[in-house]
Structure 1
């Protein structure tokens, strides 16, 4: 049994499993029963990955993602831990997904790929205005889906975690927003989905 700093990883995963409804299944027909099977085999990393997949099927409580994040940290699965912490944020503040296209290196200041794992916190022009009528840029962290890095000129679906969620309440699918890392335009994105928070804000 894996233990680290007094935290029992299997018990954490078992606790998270109990928060998953038995009837939900992933596209690959994975259910919580599959998770329990891997837990009995001491395959904790596999069980964690399956629980993350089940968490995408329908909204689950904040405690589910907090428990998974702690388990991932104990297993030293850095990216999984970061993802679960990200989902903790989304549970309290809502989900914003967008289709982002970065400007090519020949047209932008950035010459290197951006990390996909929520490290970058660029500014965004989302239509808000200053008292004088100029653009009022708003900060949101950026998580790139399905790839660890996004190259200059690349395109990917992303998730945004606003620093001040209330400033983003007007966003609607189909709306274009503009990404900045400085005064110049770093990329443009079209909003794909906006889901309001399922719990009281934790930001």
Structure 2
């Protein structure tokens, strides 16, 4: 399937009544598709996907279209959203420890490549903290510097271990035994299957 056909197929999965804060609807997507403005259509479909939860198939189709257009960050984002559609969404406000106080001296890449460990309150059989792994996506910026703060999304290796999280809960990020950062959960939504 070619890019325009994929974008058309994805647009058919968006309910007609869905609109962004700027009143963008699927009709706007169709207008850009008729003028071969595929990248703009892709961006608008991503925005519409933020208005209400859409199916993994929607996000898979957008990811494939983005890959064919060689839009690597968009493809990674759409694949991330596909994961969330299947497994749920966890968002948090993360503050990294300053470089002078932590092992990390370089920025965290924002596009979901880092897989740190997290203390989310689970316990090991011996009673100590059990650390759980989750990929990290930094929202709205390409990376997060040591000492910085940003909204992040987490993609757990085992989503079932994370279902107890609630907004306001504090969790800690680890890249080794020491605490690399502290996060406050903003949202924890289980996927609707």
Taking the TM superposition and a 5 Å limit, the aligned residue runs for 1:65-84 are 65-84=59-78
Larger helix proportion of the pair: 2
Q: Distance in 2 between matches of 1:198 and 1:76?
A: 31
TM-score, with length taken from structure 1: 0.94
- Please say if 1:197 is aligned against 2:181: no
- 1:123 equivalent to 2:126? Answer no
Describe how 1:1-203 pairs up with structure 2 within 5 A: 7-199=1-193
Q: TM-score, normalised by structure 2?
A: 0.99
Compute the displacement of 1:61 (Å): 1.1
- What do you get for the CA RMSD once the two structures are aligned? 0.6
Measured in 1, the distance between the counterparts of 2:125 and 2:58 equals: 42
Structure 2: gaps (5+ residues):
none
Q: Distance in 1 between matches of 2:56 and 2:94?
A: 28
Equivalent-residue separation in structure 1 for 2:57 and 2:118 (angstroms): 30
Deviation at 1:62, TM superposition (A): 1.2
Task: Could you tell me which runs of 5 or more consecutive residues in structure 1 were left unpaired when the two chains were aligned.
Answer: 1-6
Which consecutive segments of 4 or more residues in structure 1 shift more than 2 A?
none
The answer to whether the 8 A contact 1:25-1:57 is kept is yes
Aligned residue number for residue 3 of structure 1? none
TM superposition shift of 1:28: 1.0
How many residues align structurally? 193
